Amino acid sequence: MRKKTIQTIIYTNNKKKIENMGNVSKWFGINTFNEEVMKSKLSKSMYSKMKKVMEGKENLTVDVANEVAHGMKEWALENGATHFAHWFLPLTGSTAEKHDSFLTYDENRKMVERFSGKELVRQEPDASSFPSGGLRATFEARGYTAWDPTSPAFLIEDKSGKTLCIPSIFISYNGYSLDQKSPLLKSVDVIENSVRKFLDVFGIEPKKVLSYAGVEQEFFLVDSLLASLRPDLTICGRTLIGAKPAKGQEMDDQYFGSIKERFIEYMRDVEHELYKLGIPLHTRHNEVAPHQFEFAPIFEDVNLACDHNQLLMEVLRKKAKDHNLFVSLHEKPFAGINGSGKHVNWNISADSLNMLDPGDNPHENMIFLFFLTAVLRGVYEHNDLLRASVASCSNDHRLGGHEAPPAIMSVFVGKHLTDVIQKIINNEFNEVNVKELINTGISKIPKITKDTTDRNRTSPFAFTGNKFEFRAVGSKQSISIPITILNVITADSLDYMRNILIEEMKDSDNDILKSIYNVVRKVLKQASDILFEGDNYSEEWRIEAEKRGLYNLKKSDEALKRFTDDKKIELLTKNNVFSKEELHARYEVEIERYCKEMLIEARLIRDMAQTIVLPALLEHQKLILENLKLIKELCQNQNIEFLNLESTNLIKKVDKILLNISKIDEVIRESECETNIENCACICSQNLNENINNLREVCDDIEKNISDKLWTLPKYSELLFVD
């Protein structure tokens, strides 16, 4: 089966063609109801009112909603859409939509297309059918989606037509948020208010304060025929069985290498779809592991960046089918091979002022120093919460390995800024630091300006010139909660430091620069323990981090509990980003997902060992015994002890498989009988991983030692190297 599949793959690939996309800027965003389209569909006065609504300066009125809805419907019909849907981000981790037709009766019972402002603003999906963490009972079905006018509506198209999708929040009948977008939007308001209050000290009144994000999305591609023979890959997104191949990524020849024709064709098709949706993809390249790739867009407002990243993941999956490929967004699809992250680059801008731009002389840039210090304090005070924001069963397989940041949250700022910070703490600034140049030694190559910071790939939260890169985010998770936490902890620190600054100015004759310097120095003394420039993988750092009082939450069930800590609840509720009930509900949702994912993996590897590996092993054993009997008859005087030993070893492996299956069954039964979700998570965390790994070890050893003809599962060498 494996060999026939590979032959089919090669034949299929040779039939593919590449489409030329032409000049992208001419048709970029054609499937979005952007401001240009809205302006053409609304009256001048209504467009002006709608702009103020989008900027938060006015409330949406019925007349504006009706005209926008009519214009949106006309545009959708012109482009071939027949249905509309509120598109939202429930706590499932994916997107959701319920399609309704524009078609309805008019006053004369004649069929017409209509779309009202009421339909635009609100829909009613069944709230009891989505995860709610106990906020909604099964019989309490009502929930609401509400239009988010700050994210443009868009058209999703497939081979049969188009659907108008309207980005929305999702709340319960009682007003609790049941989605990823609501807290993100609230956190945007919180950080904006804190930045405005701080800049007011300088007499600066910005028109706009925006949180920005640039999201690097990593993923793996595998031929769909090979993937279909791997139930673990298709169900769990990762391989539960698979021996290490002779060649993996040891040669470092994949990273930034030439993208093979089959995969560049797929990536161009994805880009084509995303460009029409107004998603500004900028970078594509091979990643470190074979068959691993990355897309990265231009920076956008965080709300838009979140929506666009969700759409990117959807389009990756949809287009993979068109190219006979399977895409895995799992954080660790293959053992012994680098996993996938979602590096979230984040900064805050006030008009044209990037709050994290150090300029040529960062030690003199008091706005930058104040804001940088606020971020450092936020991460120091709430490093456990930052870890909780990226917690998941799948991300646990990646964090802490020598390929991704560890579970200990620390901050890297580079040698230059470390020196600046240390001199501020020691109060010994006396010279101006200038940017260095790198001389390549080649006469025809100009000298290169050196950045103020190097890159530390082992750091979970690194300053990279004029932004921070949060590298611990999982490849398949929504970026909304990590960014929400970043916004909140930074805003909290800005408010804390501003209050100290106000008091400091009273004691320093209103000398603002001197006061800021004193506040920055005081807070840096408290928060500098979060800084680490070295190897985050090292055992020395783990010991040092413990001395500094930093959390090392290796497992997600431990990390998720931080959402229910009283100190964290106070932080996240005081600005109304979450309610206490919502935080407990989200904890329940995530810890339940953690248990379910682990139990699914346990049941699946148990079934694969029982129905695939064990029959192959027994068939191999049968061949050994038949050959042993034949050799005894033909070669009576020959030493055949090695065959007897091989037969004995195979019997031991059968026993090991059955023993590990029995242990997994026992843990599964114990977990399923446990009614307390925290106890269930504890059982899974402490016992299932070890038993799954033990069973895998036996299965991988068998794969390497039995007849290739008997092994039906595609091997790593085929999954990762057959194009």
- The span from the CA of 435 to the CA of 363, in Å, is 13
**Of 16 and 221, more confident:** 221
- The span from the CA of 149 to the CA of 69, in Å, is 11
- Asked whether the predicted pLDDT for residue 665 surpasses 60, the reply is yes
Q: Which two tokens stand for residue 510?
A: 């209103």
- Decide: 146 and 89 in contact? Cβ < 8 Å: no
Strand boundaries in 378-478, DSSP class E:
411-412, 437-438, 448-449, 461-463, 468-470
The reported pLDDT for the residue numbered 49 is: 93
The reported pLDDT for the residue numbered 232 is: 96
- Could you tell me whether strands 161-172 and 281-286 are parallel, antiparallel, or unpaired per DSSP bridges? unpaired
Residues pairing with 462 in the sheet: 412, 469
Please give the distance of CA 681 from its chain centroid, rounded to a whole number: 22
State the architecture of 31-179 in CATH terms: Roll (3.10)
In whole numbers, what is the pLDDT of the chain averaged over residues? 88
- Decide: 282 and 241 in contact? Cβ < 8 Å: no
* Digit-coded pLDDT (tens) for 261-284: 899 999 999 999 999 999 999 999
Q: Which two tokens stand for residue 356?
A: 């994290």
Strand boundaries in 290-445, DSSP class E:
292-297, 300-301, 325-328, 342-350, 353-354, 411-412, 437-438
* Digit-coded pLDDT (tens) for 282-331: 999 988 889 999 999 999 999 999 999 999 999 999 999 999 999 999 99
* Digit-coded pLDDT (tens) for 493-502: 999 999 999 8
- The span from the CA of 193 to the CA of 421, in Å, is 27
Non-local CB neighbours of 215 within 8 Å, separated by 6+ positions: 296, 297, 305, 308, 309, 342, 343, 344, 345, 479
- The span from the CA of 160 to the CA of 162, in Å, is 7
Q: Which fold has domain 188-240+264-578?
A: Creatine Kinase; Chain A, domain 2 (3.30.590)
CA-based max dimension of the chain: 105
The reported pLDDT for the residue numbered 444 is: 43
10 Å Cβ neighbour count for 229?
A: 18
- Domain positions in the chain are 31-179, 188-240+264-578, 593-719
10 Å Cβ neighbour count for 652?
A: 10
State the virtual CA torsion across 607, 609, 612, 613 in degrees, nearest 10: 180
* Digit-coded pLDDT (tens) for 579-621: 999 999 999 999 999 999 999 999 999 999 999 999 999 998 8
Q: What is the sign, positive or negative, of the torsion defined by CA atoms of 547, 377, 425, 538?
A: positive
- Could you tell me whether strands 143-147 and 122-123 are parallel, antiparallel, or unpaired per DSSP bridges? antiparallel
What is the pLDDT averaged over residues 666-681?
Answer: 88
- Asked whether the predicted pLDDT for residue 33 surpasses 90, the reply is yes
Q: What angle do CA 60, 63, 67 make, to 5 degrees?
A: 100
10 Å Cβ neighbour count for 106?
A: 9
Question: What letters, b where the CB count within 10 A reaches 16 and e where it falls short, cover 370-391?
Answer: bbbbbbbbbbbbbbbbbbbbbb
The reported pLDDT for the residue numbered 55 is: 86
* Digit-coded pLDDT (tens) for 96-143: 999 999 998 888 888 888 999 999 999 988 778 888 888 877 777 788
State the architecture of 593-719 in CATH terms: Up-down Bundle (1.20)
- The span from the CA of 186 to the CA of 452, in Å, is 33
The reported pLDDT for the residue numbered 428 is: 78
The reported pLDDT for the residue numbered 635 is: 66
Q: Does an H or E element contain 656, and which? A: helix 641-673
User: Between the CA of residue 320 and those of 224, 373, 376, 487, 497, what are the distances in Å?
Assistant: 8, 44, 41, 34, 49
**Of 436 and 444, more confident:** 436
